Structure 1
Amino acid sequence: AYPKRVKVVEVGPRDGLQNEKNVVPTPVKINLINMLSETGLQVIEATSFVSPKWVPQMADHTEVMQGINKLPGISYPVLTPNLKGFQAAVAAGAKEVSIFGAASELFTQKNINCSIEESLERFEEVMKAAREANIPVRGYVSCVLGCPYEGKISAAKVAEVSQ
């Protein structure tokens, strides 16, 4: 049976821009999100509170969050890979956050510079802080259908990380 509801999350302003070689100017990012807000989308992942050292494209996360027009009925979650990112996101006005794990050890190392096990421990800290602050958290798992570095990923590994 099909689900009664599907939640579409637009991640372009974060995932679509984070690997661009040239840094996209902050006003362009804000304008992109504002235009996406006019399309009928209900969830737009706006930015990522990651270290600017690792992802220079997201160094303006606070300015983006404070510069967008937040329309009623639309949520603007942000990616927060650790407690420091979560705290910065909340300080910038985030009302919802996202965390992500990966079913691939190598992908996790290359993306967030730690093991799968360490990433899950970091998420526990974020989840605890989010519960205390009454901030919704959306979790997602990368590489469920395969990894650009490792290739095929077992269903067992996906299930393990998903729990």
Structure 2
Amino acid sequence: MAFPQSVRLVEVGARDGLQNEPEPVSTETKLELIDRLGAAGLRHIEAASFVSPKWVPQMADHREVITGLKRRDGVVYSALTPNLKGLEAALQCGVDEVAVFGAASESFSQKNINCSVSESLERFAPVLDRAKAANVRVRGYVSCVLGCPYEGEIAPAKVAEVAKALYEMGCYEVSLGDTIGTGTPLKAKRMLEAVARDIPMANLGAHFHDTYGQALANLYAVLEEGIAVIDSSVAGLGGCPYAKGASGNVASEDVIYLLNGLGIDSGIDLSDLAATGTWITQTIGRPNRSKVGVAIAAQ
């Protein structure tokens, strides 16, 4: 396979990146982060999560964030909506696109959303029907595609089964998540091979965490197979509350540096993005986990 000519980055820093911060991050800071990301050229920004504030207190201001956005032309602002209640609230706020999330692991599904994989898929059916009626696109996430904190190895066939169910249900794109970051390039290729038998490559994305330092190597491996959508988080913010020790998402700056080196277009200005990563980490008092961001800031 040849590399794609261009890649769309789905920036998850404002949602996945901030959701586990122990100290509240102000709505103003979140809005400024989203605005800076748009200014740097990002065209798909996951802005909020419409979940119960009881479970994710950091996302309690989801309405204020979505209604307070300074919208830029050509930028999709999406939100996570795990259930019908969340979807209705997101629709009231005028969200562009929503996302639902399942898992390829039974244990993870039970611990994360308190139901089996098949039950979680059943719950999504009315969400997808309602979103379709409202003319809002739905993206699907599959967690634990390259390993689970409770079950260890996950069979590629299981990942393919869950991804196919989401796609057939009406998700226009399915993002494959290495939630605990244990994947390696060959595993990533084999998993993708299994999933791509049922879903066109153009409808798949990669959401790889960098816990074991393998995210960029894994992304290179799936780019070779034709993946052209990558989820990443500015400054490498975030992790997974249900996956112990899972350091965050791959840093957007590091991904752009890799893409630039491969001659793959992303439409993103690396210096603007790096400046945004420096700003947000200083603002919330977190280390910058982007190697590229740190190197650029040191120049």
- The TM tier, using the shorter chain, reads over 0.9
Distance 1:16 1:148 in 2: 20
Distance 1:152 1:35 in 2: 38
Distance 2:24 2:115 in 1: 25
Choose 1 or 2 for highest CA Rg.
Answer: 2
Shift of 1:5: 4.8
Confirm or deny that 1:144 pairs with 2:109.
no
- Runs (4 or more) in structure 1 with deviation over 4 Å come to none
Shift of 1:159: 1.0
Confirm or deny that 1:36 pairs with 2:37.
yes
Amino acid aligned to 2:108: F
Shift of 1:113: 2.5
Shift of 1:155: 0.8
Shift of 1:149: 3.0
Evaluate the alpha carbon distance shift between residue 62 and residue 106 of structure 1 in structure 2; reply closer, same or farther with a 3 A threshold: same
Distance 2:7 2:160 in 1: 21
Distance 1:62 1:113 in 2: 25
Percent identity among equivalent residues?
62
Amino acid aligned to 1:116: V
Distance 2:111 2:25 in 1: 22
Q: Which residue of 2 aligns with 1:98?
A: 99
Q: Which residue of 1 aligns with 2:163?
A: 162
Shift of 1:4: 5.3
Evaluate the alpha carbon distance shift between residue 29 and residue 127 of structure 1 in structure 2; reply closer, same or farther with a 3 A threshold: same
Q: Aligned with 1:126: secondary structure?
A: helix
TM-score by length of 2: 0.52
Q: Which residue of 2 aligns with 1:71?
A: 72
Of Structure 1 and Structure 2, the greater strand share is in 2
Q: Which residue of 2 aligns with 1:22?
A: 23
Evaluate the alpha carbon distance shift between residue 60 and residue 126 of structure 1 in structure 2; reply closer, same or farther with a 3 A threshold: same
Distance 2:163 2:140 in 1: 9
Confirm or deny that 1:114 pairs with 2:118.
no
Amino acid aligned to 1:59: A
Q: Aligned with 1:54: secondary structure?
A: coil
| Higher RCO, 1 vs 2 (CA within 8 Å, ≥6 residues apart) | 2
Query: Over aligned residues, Cα RMSD in angstroms?
Result: 1.3
- Aligned residue runs from structure 1 range 125-144, under 5 A: 125-144=126-145
Q: In structure 2, list runs of 5 or more residues that go unmatched.
A: 165-299
Confirm or deny that 1:59 pairs with 2:60.
yes
Amino acid aligned to 2:83: N
TM-score by length of 1: 0.94
Cα deviations by residue, 1:45-87 (Å, 9 ceiling, x for unpaired): 0010001111111111000101121100100010111111111
Q: Aligned with 1:114: secondary structure?
A: coil
Distance 1:115 1:128 in 2: 21
Amino acid aligned to 1:135: V
Distance 1:153 1:23 in 2: 35
Q: In structure 1, list runs of 5 or more residues that go unmatched.
A: none
Please say which of residues 107-116 and 41-50 is displaced more in the overlay.
107-116
